[in-house]
Amino acid sequence: MRDLADQRDFKIGFAAVLNAFELADNQLYLDTAASEFNMLTPENSHKMGWIQPRRGEFRFDDADALADYAEANNMLLHGHPLIWYAQLPDWVQRLDPSDAETVMLEHIDAVAGRYKGRIALWDVVNEALEDDGRLRQSIWFKGMGEGYIGKAFEAARAVDPDAVLIYNDYDVVWENQKSDAMYALLQSELAAGTPIDGVGFQMHLRSGFDDYPSVERNLQRFADLGLDIYITEFDVALDAPDTLDTQAAVFQRSLEICLAQPRCKAMQAWGFTDRYSWRSAFTPLLLTDRYLSKPSYTAWQTTLKNFMR
């Protein structure tokens, strides 16, 4: 896949597990990833609960190792995420909201600052919206109100001016109440001058998914806002009685839509072997737990091969 993507100036990515270098099969894992992908996102190594376990104390080892590995293998590095409501350290969960702004700005300065010039794209704000489209009552929202989103992007831009800055969320790739709310949010942020460059669509799907015309229309309206589009966390849970071929069709149609959309810059799987997936029980990825190609892999490879931009 990687050679095909490179030839087409397209990014095909994966999420790298925490402590990848310590896996029992680390050599196989790292070699496979380097031959198949030209983009990498740390699945957990940048999250606040991991990287800033105590206030002002940072644990950069794993993120550093992944950054070195990405550079050694000429992969685009995608940071994920700077500001999120989940996987927070205990001390942030206990934080007084009046401290939230200082803590947010210190965190962005420290983390985006450490990787300045090395991270091509950052998910600056992740999952700010509830399923019904209201803003989540996160610690960041409680401390700063809706303004935290603009402040986070401004801070990221100031510390790493060359990074592409992304708003990332889930269940927003087709038209629904939540994607309508995301559209309104991004439109008003852009009007206010917030430096948002792109929108990340997670795409944690199930094998019964088939609402493709809605996805095409939805991506187009975000493209029309002037935003680049990234499919950031693709996987497809296989539900009975669907087959691996049904799952592969979801991989194929989704990649076709991204490739056909001029502003869609990258397609990234949330892992690659079913052995290491947050939805392992649903075998949602490209390779079996023994690293054998699944129909989903062949579908992506063939789709890339057939595509000429």
Over the range 64-101, which residues count as b (16 or more CB within 10 Å of their CB) and which as e?
ebbbebbeebebbbbbbbbbbeeebbebbeebeeeebb
Catalytic residue among 127, 130, 175, 189: 127
> What is the separation of C-alpha 5 from the centre of its chain, rounded to a whole number of angstroms?
18
Residue 303 structure tokens: 């789709």
Min dist CB 86 to ligand XIL, Å, is 7
224: amino acid identity, one letter:
D
- Position 278 contacts ligand XIL (CB under 6 A): yes
Nearer to ligand XIL, 82 or 249 (CB): 82
Min dist CB 184 to ligand XIL, Å, is 21
Nearer to ligand XIL, 84 or 148 (CB): 84
Which SS3 state, helix, strand or coil, does residue 135 take? strand
Nearer to ligand XIL, 141 or 167 (CB): 167
Min dist CB 96 to ligand XIL, Å, is 26
- Position 85 contacts ligand XIL (CB under 6 A): no
Nearer to ligand XIL, 58 or 170 (CB): 170
Cα–Cα distance for residue pair 77/255, rounded to 1 Å:
20
Cα–Cα distance for residue pair 245/237, rounded to 1 Å:
13
Cα–Cα distance for residue pair 69/101, rounded to 1 Å:
33
Catalytic residue among 36, 43, 189, 233: 233
- Position 202 contacts ligand XIL (CB under 6 A): yes
Pairing type for strands 198-201 and 228-237 reads parallel
Cα–Cα distance for residue pair 174/231, rounded to 1 Å:
13
- Listed in order, strand segments (DSSP E) in 50-162 are 76-79, 121-126
Min dist CB 24 to ligand XIL, Å, is 18
* Residues 32-71 close enough to bind ligand XIL by CB under 6 A: 43-44
- Position 283 contacts ligand XIL (CB under 6 A): no
8 Å CB contact between 115 and 123: no
216 annotated active-site: no
Min dist CB 278 to ligand XIL, Å, is 3
- Position 126 contacts ligand XIL (CB under 6 A): yes
Nearer to ligand XIL, 171 or 303 (CB): 171
* Residues 138-197 close enough to bind ligand XIL by CB under 6 A: 170
Nearer to ligand XIL, 24 or 308 (CB): 24
189 annotated active-site: no
Min dist CB 305 to ligand XIL, Å, is 29
209: amino acid identity, one letter:
F
By CB under 6 A, the count of residues binding ligand XIL is: 7
For the chain, what's the residue count?
309
72: amino acid identity, one letter:
A
Which SS3 state, helix, strand or coil, does residue 232 take? strand
Footprint on this chain of ligand XIL (rule: CB under 6 A): 43-44, 126, 170, 202, 233, 278
- Catalytic positions: 127, 233
